[in-house]
Amino acid sequence: MGEDSKTRKLTRKEREYLARRNEILDTALKLFSQKGYHQTSMSEIAKESEFSIGSLYSFFKSKEDLFFNLFKRSIEDVEELVNGALARAKDARQKLELLVEVLFEYFEKKWEAFHIFALNRQSFDWTLKEDLGEIIRAKHLEFIGTLSQILEEGIKEGIFKPFRPEEMALAFIGLINGSIFLWIEKGRKYSLRERKDVILEIFYHGIEKFSGRNKK
């Protein structure tokens, strides 16, 4: 079998290429955050990152291509963190707790790309909108699948009630996504990570004050 592209050792030329590419992406993210996506030109990105415009286009064929790769990199970073957290966990409950922890910690540090997407998704070029929509759809389905497996493990372990794992996964994702969205919309004025225990409490026990419906 051949070497996996993610595990094989990169050549010096490949490392240099990736370093320059990431430098451009970091610069673009900074400019998009400061000026806005539509207000930032490729020539400004080239100048700020100290590349010629020709060199910039050798890495990315357009601003749409650049943002797509910027957003894709962010999603892949999240995916890597989640996989690392799940590998450290001992049981289903700990997997959920670590998952929320790493997601909230990531978004507190690197929220910009997702905010830019949320602000501009309706005005993106239709090809960029389609490409972003496809990667989001694919990763969302993967995440539902991962969560469903964790919740099914918890059911078998006797930790969780025997509800349909997919429905529980959707409820869990809704709590996470809603918390991140509200945190960004409210100007990030509080710690997202401090909301972890509340989110888990709501998911594990719901919002009903008493366990029995007829209790007063």
19 and 117 share one domain: no
Distance CA 28, CA 40 (A): 8
One domain, residues 157 and 168: yes
pLDDT tens-digit profile of 170-209?
999 999 999 999 999 899 999 999 999 999 999 999 888 7
Confidence of residue 8 (pLDDT cuts 50, 70, 90): confident
Looking at the fold, whether 95 and 170 belong to one and the same domain comes out as yes
Say which CATH number the domain at 169 has. Answer: 1.10.357.10
Cα distances from 65 to residues 19, 28, 162, in angstroms, run: 18, 12, 44
Q: Report which residue type is found at 15.
A: R
pLDDT attached to residue 206:
87
Residue 120 included in any domain: yes
72, 86: one domain: yes
In this structure, the answer to whether residues 95 and 158 fall within a common structural domain is yes
**Structural domain that includes position 33:** 7-60
pLDDT of residue 32: 96
Q: How many domains does the chain have?
A: 2
Q: pLDDT grade, residue 214 (50/70/90)? A: low
What does the pLDDT look like over 85-106, one tens digit per residue?
Answer: 999 999 999 999 999 999 999 9
**CATH number of the domain to which 26 belongs:** 1.10.10.60
